[in-house]
Structures are given as C-alpha cells and as structure tokens.
C-alpha cells in the first residue's frame, strides 16, 4: 500500500482538485474513486466527499491499496503463430485484441489465449502479464514476442533494453513528407491534460527519451506508406511522433486528424511488420515477418488507385 501525507499551504476550492494538482501521476477520476472508497482522510477523519472545500493547514492522507491480482482464465482464442519453440513464441496479433487484462478488459485478451496455448506460462515475468516483454496497442497489428520461460523473459527484456532487438513497422500517414527519411528524437510522457494519452514532454518535466527512425516506402498522393524502426519503445511512440511532425497515422482515433479515407479501418493503419531477436538459449538470430491484415492491404490498394487517377 502506498501512502501520501500532505498539508495544505494555500486555499483550494475542492479536495479532488487539490489532490490532482499535488499528485499528477494520478488521474482525477482515480482520485475521486479513492475518495469515494474511503481511502482519503481529512484531518484524521475519513472523507468520502470529493467536493468538500479545504483550507490552509488542513492535513490530508491518501492511501492507495495494493492492486488485486486479476483472476486470469485460459481462453481458446485462435492464434496466428509465426514462430514457436520451448522458449519463445512469436505471434501476428490481429486488430482489436488487447495484449493483457486490465480494468475494462478482464478477459478476451492475448494473455488469456496464451494461457490456453502455453499451460506453463503463469508467473513468468509477473502474475498479471505472464510472458509479456513488449506490447502492441489494441488496434495495432503484427509481430509480438512472448517468453515461455524465465530465461527467455530475462533475455528478451535485456535485448529490448540494450536496443539489440529490431522492431520494424509499416504505417500509412497523412500528407507527403518533404524528405525521404529522418529521425524523430523527442521525449514522450503522459499528457498532463489527458492522462489516457501520451504527448511529447520535456525530460525535465517527466518525459522519457524516445527515438523513431523512418523512411518513405511509397508516395500515394496526399498519403505515404512509411517504414518505421523503433530505437526505444515508449507507449504510443510511433503514433505520437508521427502526429508531432505533422503526419499522423491514418485511422488513429486518438492522435489522428479524424478525416475519413473511405476505407473501413478497425483503428490506426500501423502494423508491426518485422521482428528480429536473438534466441535466449542457442543465440541464433530469429527474424519473422508478419503479413499485414486485409484492411491494411485494402487501404493501400484504394490509395494507389486514387493516386494513379489523380496523376
């Protein structure tokens, strides 16, 4: 359990607003939930009113209870397996599949599917995220590696940290980049205005180093097929970086432009195309290529036809 003890030094109109300002790592909705659940004391008395006014000298204690482990259930969900042995498994993840259970997504995740496929997976790398060393967003498709043993988990994690694992993506972006390639080196952190989103945040304000390499593969009028390679692996990194340089990923519901392209996409047109790692035991290089989903190839076909007509 985590505990925060605060003393009010300036008048503030509401308890929840004060706590949100003093504890920026917690969302306001999370703070309100903690208040309603009796985890906040005001002057040594439990306070369940988020709207109560506080004043200079008030003492506030906020307790954050330990997260309760999710009851993970094995589920028979089809898996597109690109590589598998007794140490690791590499899959081609479809759009719409959440990687691991979380509040709001307690089941139907990749982890639930893996538990049915790999009975010995529980406990590897953590109870709530067994075997998961990196993740893909819900609607990002493509190659993802999962550890089946503790040795594999440590090895894959070390390769990601040392930047020796190679992760390549294909993405369709709005607009036409002025150059053929580039490097985006901009730190990323939690968006202070919307805790569910990420943003470019200076390191001195909590951002973490994020580097994305990109190059143009095909120009399609006012759209471009881009090859991305991650040097780091921050949450939503490619999506945030692409938007920041003025070329958001097509179909991105969070960071995109909201413009329709006339193709029914399940989400952002971003695909983890190629993954290269070193085998944790043999040290052989394993390189897999994940075929893009039909929606991605349909989008490219439509944009190619439009580009041909307009030219």
Which residues are designated catalytic? 137
Q: Which of 98, 118, 116 is nearest to 107 (CA)?
A: 98
Q: Are 113 and 75 in contact (CB under 8 A)?
A: yes
Integer Cα distance of 303 and 171 in angstroms: 13
Q: For the chain, what's the residue count?
A: 311
Beta-carbon contacts of 118 under 8 Å, excluding residues fewer than 6 positions away, are: 89, 131, 146, 148
């Amino acid at each position: 359990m985590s505990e925060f003890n605060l003393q009010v030094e300036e008048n503030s109109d509401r308890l929840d607003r004060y706590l949100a300002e003093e504890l920026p790592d917690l969302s306001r909705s999370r703070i309100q939930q903690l208040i309603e659940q009796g985890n906040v004391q005001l002057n040594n008395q439990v306070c369940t009113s988020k709207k109560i006014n506080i004043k200079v000298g008030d003492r506030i204690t906020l307790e954050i209870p330990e997260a309760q482990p999710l009851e993970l259930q094995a589920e028979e969900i089809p898996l597109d397996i690109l590589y598998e042995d007794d140490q690791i498994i590499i899959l081609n993840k479809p759009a719409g599949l959440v990687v691991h259970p979380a509040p709001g997504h307690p089941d139907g995740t990749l982890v639930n599917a893996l538990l049915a496929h790999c009975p010995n997976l529980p406990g590897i790398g953590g109870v709530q995220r067994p075997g998961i060393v990196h993740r893909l967003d819900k609607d990002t498709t493509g190659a993802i590696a999962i550890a089946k043993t503790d040795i594999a988990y440590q090895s894959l994690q070390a390769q990601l940290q040392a930047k020796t694992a190679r992760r390549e993506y294909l993405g369709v972006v709005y607009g036409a980049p002025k150059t053929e390639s580039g490097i985006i080196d901009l730190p990323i952190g939690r968006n202070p205005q919307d805790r569910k989103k990420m943003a470019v945040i200076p390191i001195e304000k909590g951002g973490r180093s994020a580097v994305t390499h990109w190059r143009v593969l095909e120009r399609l009028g006012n759209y471009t097929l881009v090859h991305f390679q991650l040097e780091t692996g921050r949450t939503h990194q490619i999506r945030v970086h692409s938007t920041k340089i003025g070329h958001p990923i097509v179909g991105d519901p969070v960071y995109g432009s909201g413009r329709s392209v006339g193709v029914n996409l399940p989400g952002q047109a971003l695909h983890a195309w190629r993954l290269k790692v070193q085998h944790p035991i043999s040290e052989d290089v394993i390189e897999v290529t994940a075929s893009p989903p039909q929606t991605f190839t349909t989008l490219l076909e439509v944009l190619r036809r439009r580009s041909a007509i307009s030219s």
